Structure 1
Amino acid sequence: MPRSQLPPPPPPAHVRARLDDTAVRADRARFLEDLGRRSLGLGQLLLLWSVAAVCALGWSFFGMGLMAFEGGDLVSVPLGVVFILLGAGVLVPAGFWFARGARHDLQVRRLLSAWAAADRDPVTDRRLRAPARSLTWLLASFLLAAAGLWVAFGVAATARPGEDTYGEVAYCMGLGMILWITGLLGMGKAGVHYRWAVRAFREAPTAWPREQNREGNRER
């Protein structure tokens, strides 16, 4: 299966009943491992931060445009328009990139839920909860959100009339808000994933349902 292609959904229950238990378990474990990395892997965290970095670059152009407008002369105003257009040219693709990533993340989440509900394997499921990945996302995102709040409100609180322009304050506050929102998204994703994993991978009987049914039929 190509790395960019998502795993297939699990086969229907009546089809799984005719398949080999060992093969189904192996597919389930492999696909859940792959989907878990796609949902909460280190690469996904870096991808989220990359989108935030692009947004920060676009906002930097906006900030330079605002500071240029404050000049008010014949050179600064056209230059400010150019910076604003450059900012829009960066932020609009970043918005599409973010929307595409959100749709991909939703597809991964649906496949995770479907494969987790397809059957139970307590030994594998305990490993697939991945608390370490959730904790990594949580701590890294918390630090990023804290840095964003410090930049946004710290600059606004220490700004002095005559020394700091409105454009500079607006730029710093916008940059801080980008960091803060990115951190909140990361913390929210980590919390949702951990809560879902605890519910989806509850302790289950050692024997799989099909094996239990077979044992019950033998007793009858």
Structure 2
Amino acid sequence: MPRRDLPPPPPPAHLRAWLDETAVRDDRARFLLDLGRRSLGLGRLLLLWAVSAVFALGWSFVGMGLMAFEEGDPVAFVLGIVFVALGAGVLVPAAFWFAWGARRDRQVHRLLCAWAETTRDPVTDRQVRAPGRSLTWLLASFLVGVAGLWVTFGVAVSARPGQETYGEVAYCMGLGMILWITGLLGLGKAGVHYRWAVRAFRAPRRG
């Protein structure tokens, strides 16, 4: 996966007093806008969906393995083992990919907090708040989460003995759970960014 280095942390307060104020403000604007796009940009949303798609692919292999096991045929049993192994081969790297992204998000958030506290710039602060991007994350994640809940509970309620196998039900419910968790993560990220922006860029008290 291609990886770019993150912006550096801001210089300590005792060193900023010796630096050119305009240069510090320009660095703050450039780094905050870059970090804001990394945190809540459209590319980050698509990356979250890409990770979820990989999880769905891995679970599809596992689901095919479960359905093969239910056939009770020796050949199907061997195919089931192959499918489960393929699923594990996809799910394990996806889990590492997800963990890497979560760690990266924490680093970006720490840098956002640090640079936001260095000084104030109304123009930059307004852009970093990004209410439009927050709303996009919120609406898109809400729709994905609703779709996941509909698939999960819809399959559980409509399943009938003799019509759907346990493997088919587990497969569909697993896909629904992946969608639901993806939507929940997106909603949480949008909410965290909004709450942080309100605290970080609120107008200073007078008097």
Give TM-score, length-normalised by structure 1. 0.90
CA shift for structure 1 position 128: 1.6
Whole-angstrom CA distance in 2 between matches of 1:59 and 1:72: 21
> Which residue identity is paired with 2:90?
V
The answer (yes or no) to whether the contact 2:33–2:124 under 8 Å persists in 1 is no
In 1, distance between residues paired with 2:19 and 2:89? 52
Distance apart, 1:18 and its partner CA:
1.1
**Equivalent position of 2:4 in the other structure:** 4
User: Could you tell me which residue of structure 1 aligns to residue 190 of structure 2?
Assistant: 190
CA distance in 1, matches of 2:46, 2:86: 24
Render the CA deviation track for 1:162-209: whole Å, top value 9, x for unaligned.
Answer: 11111000000000000000100000000000100110011248xxxx
Unaligned runs of 5+ in 1: 206-220
Structure 1 segment 5-84 matched on structure 2, within 5 A: 5-84=5-84
Q: Percent identity?
A: 78
CA-based RMSD: 1.3
Q: Which amino acid aligns with 2:87?
A: G
Question: What SS class does the counterpart of residue 75 from structure 1 fall into?
Answer: helix
Residue pairs, 1:1-220, within 5 angstroms: 4-204=4-204
The separation in 2 between residues aligned to 1:104 and 1:124, in whole angstroms, is 23
> Which consecutive aligned stretches of 4+ in structure 1 deviate over 3 angstroms post-superposition?
none
The structure that has the greater radius of gyration is: 1
Provide Cα deviations, 1:32-84, integer angstroms capped at 9, x if missing partner: 00000000000000000000000000000000000000001111111100000
Residues of 1 paired with 2:128 and 2:172: CA distance? Answer: 40
Q: Is the 8 A contact 2:67 2:167 kept in 1?
A: yes
Report if aligned partners of 1:122, 1:203 keep a CA contact under 8 Å in 2. Answer: no
Post-superposition Cα deviations, 1:107-133, rounded to whole Å, max 9, x if no partner, equal 000000000011112232122211111
* Local SS of the residue matching 2:117: helix
Structure 2 distance, partners of 1:121, 1:13, is 17
Q: Which amino acid aligns with 1:116?
A: A
The count of corresponding residues between Structure 1 and Structure 2 is 204
Structure 2 counterpart of 1:191, which letter? G
Greater displacement, 60-69 / 19-28: 19-28
